Structure formats: structure tokens, C-alpha cells
Amino acid sequence: MLIEELFLNLALALIAICANILSAFSGGGAGLIQLPALILLGLPFAKALATHKLASIALGIGASIRHAKEKSLEPYLVFLILICGLPGVLIGASLVIYIQSKIATFSLGILTLSLGLYSSNKSPLKTKSYKLQSKYLNRVLGCLVLFILGFLNGSLSSGTGLFVTIWLVEWFGLSYSRAISYTLVLVGIFWNGTGALVLGMNGEVQWNWLPVLIGGSLLGGYFGAHLSLSKGEALVKKAFEIVSIGMGLSLITKIFF
């Protein structure tokens, strides 16, 4: 029993560190590794989601410490991401409790696999200088997509941080490194914290796994943020694709076998 617990804690630590290094490095994606891994280790979907979200708050804190030394956040854009995304997170987290675990797991597998395939067919994002879209309809659409991403964050979680990073770059005109800063702080702490609160109130948390996952998230978040500020993204992009495709296939297979 002691040996089993030791191996479980070791597996959880490795999962948390690897997932959060990847996420902090690439601007999202911890859910692509950590959430499916918790499900494959035996947790029901809702409990795995709540546990993952609580642990991911540590990712936001760990990464924020590193990014705080380099960058500041624009108050207007911070407000926009929170006011548009948090209602979606609340609705998504409230609804996922009522979805059958098999359906949610299968949906997560499809989304995870799709993200890996999408990334493998897309060249690395080009950096842009910060320039918020000025047209009213563009801003409305930008806010609507942030709400949808918030909903997905609260319900399925997988890859939503990466989607937020991509959206901030492609629609709001941020550089890739600045977009990562916003994602790690606002999605990592506030979106995930809100989702964890809603799910935690319904008793969906594996509390005895949290200390190891939080420790791994803090370490992974800090070192991943350090890498994102000092290295290129080609290597992590490839690792991200391999892992997400593998995890997606594993989750889909788990449903049928």
C-alpha cells in the first residue's frame, strides 16, 4: 500500500510539473495533459476537473511571479477578459456536474485530439505589437468569443488557456509573450479559481491529491514561464502536439474499452 501511494504521488508530481511547464511555456495546455491524466488514473470527470482547476491556480501564481519581473498588464484588457470570461466559466462549471462522465470524457478526448491535430497543421504564431481593435463590432465579437472560451474552461477545460492566448494574439493584436502573461494570470488564477469554487462547493475535489499537484504546478509554472521568456517555441510546440494527440486517443479508447 505504501509503495502504491509512493508511485501515485510520484506520477502526480511528474504530471503536474510537465503539464505546467508546457502550459506556462506555450500560453496554455495544462488541461491537455493534467486533466486527461487524472481521469486515466481513475477519477470521474467532474472530480478530475475540479481537482485540476484547484491545482492550476498554483500554475497561475507560479508563472505570475516570473512574469511580474518582466511585464505589466493593461487594466482595460484585464477588465475585458474577466467581465466577458467569468460568466461563461460560472455557467460551464454549473452545467458540467449534470453531464454523464462518459460523455464529458469522450468530448474532452475529441477536443484534445483536435487541438493536437490543429496545432500540428499550423505554423507558430507570429508576434504582433499590442493594438486593440477599434471597431465596435470587432470588440463585441472579441468579447463573445471570450465568453465562449470561459464556458469551455468551466465545462471541459482542456486547451482553453491556449485558445485564449491564440485569440489575444490574432484578434486583440498582442505579442505572443504578452498574451501568455494575460492567460497565465487571468485564466490560471481567476477563471480556474472560479470554476474550482463552483465545482468544489458540490464536493467534486480529490483533496488528498492536491498537495502534490499544487507543488508540481508551482514549480512547473515558474520554470515554464522562465523558458517562455528565454527560449523559442518550436520544441514545446512539437511536444504539445505529441502529448495532446496521445492523450486524446487514450481518452477516446478509455470510453470504448
- Listed in sequence order, the residues at least 6 apart from 17 whose beta carbon sits closer than 8 Å to its beta carbon are 216, 219, 220
Mean pLDDT, 10 residues at a time, the chain of 257 residues: 82 87 69 82 85 80 65 82 95 84 80 78 55 66 93 79 82 80 85 85 81 86 70 62 75 76
CA-only gyration radius of the chain, Å: 17
- For residue 57, give the C-alpha cell: 491556480
| pLDDT number for residue 129 | 44
| pLDDT number for residue 212 | 92
Count the Cβ atoms, other than its own, within 10 Å of residue 94: 16
| pLDDT number for residue 235 | 63
| pLDDT number for residue 192 | 85
Rounded Cα–Cα distance for residues 154 and 149 (Å): 9
| pLDDT number for residue 136 | 73
Q: What is the DSSP string of 40-107?
A: HTT--HHHHHHHHHHHHHHHHHHHHHHHTTT----HHHHHHHHHHHHHHHHHHHHHHTTS-HHHHHHH
| pLDDT number for residue 133 | 47
- Collapsing DSSP to helix, strand or coil, 126 comes out as coil
Count the Cβ atoms, other than its own, within 10 Å of residue 63: 32
Question: At 22, which amino acid appears?
Answer: L
| pLDDT number for residue 26 | 64
| pLDDT number for residue 257 | 65
| pLDDT number for residue 86 | 96
- For residue 226, give the C-alpha cell: 522562465
| pLDDT number for residue 81 | 95
| pLDDT number for residue 130 | 43
Residue 169 exposure: Cα atoms within 13 Å on the Cβ side: 21
| pLDDT number for residue 29 | 66
Instruction: List the end-to-end C-alpha distance of the chain, in Å, as a whole number.
Output: 27
